[in-house]
Structure 1
Amino acid sequence: MSDKKPLRVLFCIGVNQNFFDATAEEAKQVWGAFSTMMRGIGELPGVKVLGNLDDDQIMVGPSTNWPWTTYVLADVPDIETVTAACNLFRVTPVGDGTFKLWKYCRVEARVGRELVIPQ
């Protein structure tokens, strides 16, 4: 039996222009959906969220690629779970569900492994 190590994943999340164009009420609904999505990542089987970083105080406007707006670092059991985490952006409803979260933000997952420095 192999001792399969988890994948170390950096979820890079960017906010789209649609969020900045939203009304105050719509933006509030996006925040609610974003919270649901973040909880959803942590609740996926075998996922251990190690931390997050938000650079919204020093980054203004949409992030269409690097640098991203916020990051989540997690240990994830397999690539299928990484895919399921990214899919939360496609399926998480905003407000009445007319739109999904991916209208307002995007995600890119960087997959690797924990760097272990030999003693």
Structure 2
Amino acid sequence: MTDTPAKKPIRTLFCCAVLQNFFDLPAADIGKVWAATGEMLKGIRDLPGVTVLGTLDDDETMVGTSPNGWPWTFYIMAEVPDRETVQAGCNLFRTIEVGEYRLWKYMRVEARLGRELVIPE
């Protein structure tokens, strides 16, 4: 019987952008989006096998919407067991409700998948 090597986790950077639709909301409706964002963050953290390594929020030095592509508004760096789990994390933007809409009306996500870059000693 041979030992099967342990599957290495996938290093994943969830890049998230706040869209203009969020900034167009009346002040009274912004709290609903923040509550949904918290649900999404907890949802990614709580996916089976996910270890969140860190987060970064650009909101103090970037004001307004994220243009297409770089820079993003906030980031979640995580170790994820497989591609399906990354897809489940991204799918939260499609399924979490904000009133009659979904979170993806107000934010977008792109996940970058790779491996840990080991710094030589």
User: What is the TM-score normalised by the length of structure 1?
Assistant: 0.94
The answer to whether structure 1 residue 85 and structure 2 residue 85 are counterparts is no
17, 22, 31: which one aligns with 1:19: 22
Q: CA deviation at 1:117?
A: 3.1
12, 28, 36: which one aligns with 1:33: 36
Q: Which runs of 4+ in 1 moved over 3 A?
A: none
Show structure 1 runs of 5+ residues with no match. none
What is the Cα-based RMSD across aligned positions, in Å?
1.0
| Structure 2 counterpart of 1:99 | 101
| Structure 1 counterpart of 2:13 | 10
Q: In percent, how many aligned pairs have the same letter?
A: 60
Q: Which amino acid aligns with 1:52?
A: T
Q: CA deviation at 1:2?
A: 2.3
Show structure 2 runs of 5+ residues with no match. none
More deviation, 82-91/59-68: 59-68
Structure 2 distance, partners of 1:78, 1:6, is 7
73, 76, 98: which one aligns with 2:77: 73
Q: Which amino acid aligns with 2:33?
A: V
| Structure 2 counterpart of 1:109 | 111
Which structure would you say has the larger Rg? 2
For the residue of structure 2 that corresponds to 1:41, the secondary structure is: helix
Structure 1 distance, partners of 2:12, 2:58, is 18
Map 1:43-62; keep pairs closer than 5 Å: 43-62=46-65
Q: CA deviation at 1:118?
A: 4.3
Q: Which amino acid aligns with 1:103?
A: K
